[in-house]
A = this chain, B = another copy of it.
Amino acid sequence: MAVESSPAPLDASRLEINAVPNPDPAPDIDTPDVMNVKTFTDRMITASWTEERGWSNPQVVPYGPISLMPSASALQYATQCFEGMKVFRGYDGRLRLFRPLYNCERMLKSATRISLPAFDPRELLKLIHKLCELEAPKWLPKNKPGSALYLRPTMIGSDSSLGFKVPEEAQLYIFMVYWPGPKLVTENGGAALQAGTRLLASSVSAVSAWPGGTGSAKVGGNYGATLAEHGLAKKQGYDQVLWLFGPDRQITEAGATNIFVIWKTLSGALQMVTPPLDKDGLILAGNTRRSIIELARDMFSVETASKELQCEVLERKITMSEVEEASSNGRLMSVFVVGTAFWIQEVSEIGFNGESIKVNIGVTTHVPLLRERMTEIMFGKRESDWVDIVQES
């Protein structure tokens, strides 16, 4: 009797290592290629999928070009999704990932949203651990604590049919890159200060995400379409677009980061607010975002914090008129943006309707305190169950 084989799952235990590191030393982190985000490590992990056979054995291969038909689904219909995470070399010599299962689970959600195949997020996490273990000796050596590499798991629809349909073939690849600045730590290992970022509010005619769209998934289509507005902001000397939504000009995200506002309420109490992850799906559920919320609730609670640090943390809708009003009444204390790639950066100015809302940096110490705590966790100066230790042989 013939046995029907079911499609194979993604299985990290079947990893095949088919590449050794390039013997050349890793480049300095201030070379032009690093600044241009073009310095990738020597090797990547790939796995291919077909509807019929499921996932292939994952492979460690040299980082390099992939081959796709011009008709490939990912190139024609943007069936693509990715994740962004970092691996850190700690001051205790150990290698850490920051809440990485969260990213792997979000990758599955993004893949599902864009009609790419499913996988067990724990298997993806094992592959990420393995790649870190293989690449770290050269790229994050133990004698360089305080350094980090950026990881980019990516999945694309590689089906060569030009028909508009769910891809029957896909590719997963995980690769690593030096992500230039901001500096995470100072020479002596403290959290580095960050310069103020300048945001320009999006025009009424430019929208990055909408209810029923893909704003809560990390899919390529969310990004390319925002480059035009981003370019307009850059031309006017701003760093990022502050993406607003709806006639009441709700704040959603800034560039590709989540955003927080610290203001005083009319009764004088401090509040830290960030837009909610509601059913509209306008906001990406950032790993840094949720960590900042959890840390702030712990560090700035009535029970733990000094009087001047006590701060309620709320996920709620924020409109530009609220920010304007807080600013004009002297109640706007801090605005900051957070994300894996761009870290935790304070905002010094928001351009809106031809006006400039200035935000003084340093009025409160919440952001430096959060940055310091995050850095301590990531680089092993503080015990935390938020980190995975990467086992190195």
A-side residues, CB < 8 A to B, are: 36-38, 40, 44, 63-71, 73-80, 82, 112-115, 150, 152, 154, 156-157, 160-166, 173, 175, 177, 179, 204-207, 210-214, 219-225, 227-228, 230-231, 255-256, 279
Contact = CB atoms under 8 A, between A and B. Distances in A.
A70 B76 contact: no
A177 B161 CA distance: 10
Given A160-B38, A214-B225, A65 B69 contact: yes
Given A65-B67, A67-B66, A210-B210, A224 B79 contact: yes
A114 B177 contact: no
A342 to B, nearest CB: 10
B220 A77 contact: yes
A121 to B, nearest CB: 19
Please provide the 7 A-B residue pairs with the shortest distance between their CB atoms, ordered closest to farther: A221-B221, A207-B212, A78-B220, A37-B163, A210-B210, A77-B223, A115-B227
B114 A224 contact: yes
Copies in the complex: 2
Contact of A152 (B71, B114, B157, B205): B71
Nearest to A64: B69
A383 B168 CA distance: 43
Contacts of A40: 71
A66 to B, nearest CB: 6
Contact of A224 (B115, B179, B210, B227): B115
Nearest to A211: B207
Contacts of A279: 205
Contact of A210 (B112, B207, B231): B207
Given A70-B154, A77-B224, A219-B221, 5 more contacts: A64-B69, A71-B175, A76-B80, A207-B211, A221-B224
A110 B152 CA distance: 28
Given A76-B80, A231-B115, A219 B224 contact: yes
Contacts of A77: 220, 223-224, 227
19 contacts: A36-B163, A37-B162, A38-B161, A40-B71, A73-B224, A75-B80, A75-B154, A76-B154, A114-B224, A114-B227, A115-B224, A157-B224, A166-B227, A204-B212, A207-B211, A210-B213, A213-B225, A219-B221, A221-B225
Contacts of A213: 207, 210, 213, 225
